Amino acid sequence: MRLAAGVSVVVLGSGAVGHAVMTGLDTGIERVDPFKDMKNRPQAGHGLNFLLVGTDGREKISPEEKREYRLGGAPCHCTDTIMLVHLSADRERASVISLPRDSFAEVPAHQDLTTGKAHKAHPVKLNAAYAEGGPQLTVRTVENMTRVKIDHYLEVDFTSFMKTVDAMGGVEICTAKTMRDPNTGLDLLPGTHRLTGGQALQYVRSRHVDGASDLGRMQRQQRFIAALIKQATGGGVLLNPVKFKEVSSTLLGSVRADKGFGSEQMLALGQAMRDFTPSSSEFASVPIGSPSFPVKGIGSTVKWDEPKAAKLFQALREDRPLAPARPGKPGAAAAARPVAVPVDVPPQQVRVQVENGTRIDGLGGRVDSALRATGFDTTRAPGNAASRDVRRTVITYDPRWDRTARTVATALPGSELRAVAGQGRTVLVTAGADYRKVVPVRAEDPYQGAFGVVTGDQVVCGG
């Protein structure tokens, strides 16, 4: 992976331990100077902005790991993952924006790192800026595209990512559908999985799970960062000095960072953000105008929707949240409501008719209301079933819409699925005497609004 997610977790919450634990960790950081001689930079706003990049680094991986996690081929010496992270001035919110690696970009005039040749400004794919001019050209290009001033630069490679995930004890990921990618070897059945570092690398690298290619992969990377934050804040990593030092030293042993970022900055940020939770984080992708914009000599690129992207980065500069406001502190709203279980089909797309299969007055209405409350398109006209002695709730469905039926079954655990050919798109729920409650569900890839925003608690596993 070229994912700097491990870095972001440490950045977002390292302060639960004391200064003594941090002593000596700075020595493991490889320093770069991405801001050297930079001029005409954007004006600084409120809060802090980090550019997190993931590089290939497969030359550091053992032959066994290369075979197991399908990391063959030569390293690309480019940034395969690029994320802009904004920490709000009050330290109660983090906004993570994924920048597609194939974004159409124009690098400013610079000197080529490999050949020493002077180059004029020219168009490239965004990830090629690193190959031509390293961290400095990458920062300059991103700042030119976003008009957001970068305060710190952090870079992680495959090895650091895998070791950091393993040091954390793995990370829990849930999926509502089978995920297979022959290119990376990813093979996950529906359900909840605790991924090791190598498996996590497969998860965040996979581009051929569905038809969404790199854009789908960015969603999975965002989901993984949210899971990392949940693991770090809820799994005892930040409250256990020994565990914290193990994770931190593992990560910092191969991280590359600017000269101004070190353990003191990590500790100060962590102390200010001690109440950070997944619901405090929000994730977005740059709005896309064309996913396959042809450029002569470069090929197909991802062209941003310039007006929407400008509004997105303006919100970042002005330290405004990207997701709709919630009442109270960031963690309060999430704690007050039950965690929804991810499903393959959005409940809003599922039409449901409810019937009461018992002699309990009003049961049909209660089930209809509960299903509607979690998003299902119910008829709002529950009736009585032919039999009033149904013990176990039955979900009757047309086999052509089996994925839809499984979504309803997730909301009604313990119910019986019964296929009836020719029934049509509407799912029939016959409430039985075993009914207790409807479990909240949500689409695995929820609707993300104008900026493609989800909050961390929307995409982590429940429980």
What is the SS3 assignment for 255? coil
Upper half-sphere CA count for residue 365 (Cβ side, 13 Å):
4
What is the SS3 assignment for 386? coil
- The residues with which 429 forms a beta bridge, in sequence order, are 354, 395
Which sign does the torsion angle of CA 193, 196, 202, 204 carry?
positive
pLDDT at residue number 159:
75
Contact call for residues 446 and 454 (beta carbons, < 8 A): yes
pLDDT at residue number 2:
45
pLDDT at residue number 235:
64
Q: What is the pLDDT of residues 157-182, one digit of tens each?
A: 777 788 888 888 888 988 878 888 88
Give the containing element (helix H, strand E) for 230.
helix 213-234
Residue 449 CA to residue 311 CA, distance in Å, equals: 13
Question: Residue 394 has which token pair?
Answer: 């039955």
**What's the chain's Rg over C-alpha atoms?**
24
Contact call for residues 253 and 30 (beta carbons, < 8 A): no
pLDDT at residue number 334:
44
- State the virtual CA torsion across 283, 286, 288, 291 in degrees, nearest 10: -90
Residue 316 CA to residue 53 CA, distance in Å, equals: 18
Q: Residue 232: name the closest of 169, 156, 280, 284 by CA.
A: 169
Find the angle CA(438)-CA(192)-CA(98) to the nearest 5 degrees. Answer: 100
Q: Which amino acid belongs to residue 10?
A: V
Contact call for residues 89 and 319 (beta carbons, < 8 A): yes
How many Cβ atoms from other residues are within 10 Å of residue 93's Cβ? 23
Find the angle CA(12)-CA(100)-CA(219) to the nearest 5 degrees. Answer: 60
pLDDT at residue number 396:
97
pLDDT at residue number 175:
86
pLDDT at residue number 132:
87
Q: Residue 429: name the closest of 408, 443, 413 by CA.
A: 408
| Edge-to-edge order in the sheet of strand 48-55 | 30-32, 256-258, 152-156, 48-55, 79-87, 94-98, 281-285, 454-455
Residue 428 CA to residue 425 CA, distance in Å, equals: 10
Residue whose structure tokens are 């690029």: 82
pLDDT at residue number 62:
63
Query: For 226, phi and psi rounded to 5 degrees?
Result: -60, -40
Residue whose structure tokens are 């000596």: 24
Q: pTM for the full model?
A: 0.71
Residue 212 CA to residue 220 CA, distance in Å, equals: 11
pLDDT at residue number 418:
96
Find the angle CA(171)-CA(175)-CA(176) to the nearest 5 degrees. Answer: 160
Q: What is the pLDDT of residues 240-259, one digit of tens each?
A: 667 777 777 776 666 788 88
Instruction: Please report, for residues 61, 206, 368, 379, 386, the alpha-carbon distance to residue 405 in angstroms, rounded to integers and kept in the order given.
Output: 44, 28, 16, 16, 21
pLDDT of the chain, 463 residues: tens digit per residue: 444 444 444 444 444 445 555 666 677 678 889 998 888 899 988 899 999 998 765 555 666 765 665 565 555 566 778 999 998 998 888 899 989 989 999 999 988 777 778 889 999 999 989 988 889 999 999 999 999 999 999 888 777 788 888 888 888 988 878 888 888 888 998 888 999 988 888 888 887 776 566 777 888 888 888 888 788 777 666 666 677 777 777 766 667 888 888 767 766 655 555 667 777 888 888 988 888 899 998 999 999 999 999 999 999 999 999 876 554 444 444 444 566 788 888 898 899 999 999 999 999 999 999 999 999 999 999 999 999 999 999 999 999 999 899 999 999 999 999 999 999 999 999 999 999 999 998 876 654 445 567 788 777 776 5
How many Cβ atoms from other residues are within 10 Å of residue 312's Cβ? 25
Q: C-alpha 154: how far from its chain's center? A: 18
Contact call for residues 34 and 138 (beta carbons, < 8 A): yes
Residue 326 CA to residue 331 CA, distance in Å, equals: 10
Find the angle CA(408)-CA(412)-CA(417) to the nearest 5 degrees. Answer: 65
